[in-house]
Structure 1
Amino acid sequence: MKNIYQLKVVLNGVKPPIWRRILVPSDIELGSLHLVLQLVMGWTNSHLHQFISGRTFYGIKDDEFSFGLEVKDENKYTLNKLLESEKETIVYEYDFGDSWEHKIILEKILPYEKDKKLPLCIKGKRACPPEDCGGIWGYQELLNTLSDPENPEYEEMLEWLGGGFDPEAFDIAETNEQLSAYFR
């Protein structure tokens, strides 16, 4: 039976937390969920990714990038095969170099509404870290540098970012516009 899954997606290891609450169809393919996560978190889909459920990996089937692990084709599996009950979790890892791990929690299983436009972001906090900033430690260093205009690396960091960066910014309306444009 098709339902709506309310998911909370939390970027692991970052304080204060960066998170999103989203609604998706329970039978969404993992490959499509990857694209939803890219849009709601603010990533640019520039790196490899995988889903991890227990000891099973789901991603793009490519022996060159599987690092000797068995990786199941994400486009052959739906979310409701990995998450069946409320409070269950899986991990979504993006950018194997920076290793951004996201905990995905199935918060609620809601009845399916055919007129409800999905996917939909219903809440979130804080901006996604900039791509290629060096993972959790690089991101913390970036924030420390930007908080001190006297830091000798301040101007260089602003230039690298292409301007300012507000770690508190999150625009839910813009996020939902992007989801609507991509998935409609």
Structure 2
Amino acid sequence: MPRQIFQLKMSLAGVRPPVWRRVLVPAGYTLDRLHRVVQHAMGWRDCHLHSFEIDGLQYGEPDPDGELALHDELDVRLDAVLGKGSRFSYTYDFGDWWEHGLVVEDALTADPEERYPVCLDGERACPPEGIGGPSGYQALLVALADPADFADPAHAALRDWAGSTFDPSRFDAGRTGTLLRRFC
């Protein structure tokens, strides 16, 4: 039987202009593999905790102290909990609280000549780690939009935090696809 592929769109909640990706992933992936796909597709560095919420249930890495009631993401295949049209969320970094809305846009038959996962499209760079969540990212965008405002120490600190090569408009689907195939 041919493998099933899910076309997923992931969008970073609470940021404007939108930061999003469209990827193809095997429906047989477990949630822990989807976690790696989200990390590499979005541009995160996997430095923080994460969780998925699907139909009111939380999934992630089990908490050894039992403080977080999470179902083990290693035990859950996408095709067991999702189908075409399913909507769910992924939260990364419980301090900055980066919430991602995900939707299964389509369920397709795998192309036997293709290596999955694949990044089809997307827009804008992922915010820098530790920038302070959506509000911190918005402040960074304001600081970057007014380079003449070097006198403002808060803006200068944000620009320094992001680094001189950070370009919020940059996204390269081909490079992201290469990362996905290499690490997921």
TM-score by length of 1: 0.91
Which residue type is aligned with residue 43 of structure 1?
W
Q: Post-superposition shift, 1:62?
A: 1.3
Q: Which of 120, 123, 127 is matched with 1:122 structurally? A: 120
Q: Deviations over 1:21-53 (max 9, x none)?
A: 000000101001100110000000000000001
**Mapping 1:1-184, distance limit 5 Å:** 2-64=3-65, 68-84=67-83, 86-149=84-147, 150-151=149-150, 152-153=152-153, 154-183=155-184
Contact 1:158–1:164 (CA under 8 A) maintained in structure 2: no
DSSP-derived class of the 2:52 partner: strand
Q: Structure 1 counterpart of 2:104, which letter?
A: L
Alpha-carbon offset, residue 69 of structure 1: 3.9
- The gaps in structure 2 that reach 5 residues or longer are none
| Equivalent residue pairs, number | 180
CA distance in 2, matches of 1:180, 1:159: 32
Q: Tell whether the 8 Å contact from 2:143 to 2:159 is kept in structure 1 after alignment.
A: no
SS at match of 2:115: coil
Q: By how many angstroms is 1:15 displaced?
A: 1.4
**Percent of aligned positions that are identical:** 42
SS at 1:16's partner residue? coil
Structure 1, unaligned runs of 5 or more: none
RMSD value, Cα: 1.5
Q: Output the TM-score relative to the length of structure 2.
A: 0.91
Query: Is the Cα contact below 8 Å between 2:143 and 2:156 reproduced in 1?
Result: no
Deviations 1:56-86 (A, max 9, x none): 110001143x6x44211000001112212x2
Alpha-carbon separation, structure 2, partners of 1:155 and 1:15: 21
Tell me the distance in 1 between the aligned counterparts of 2:15 and 2:162: 19
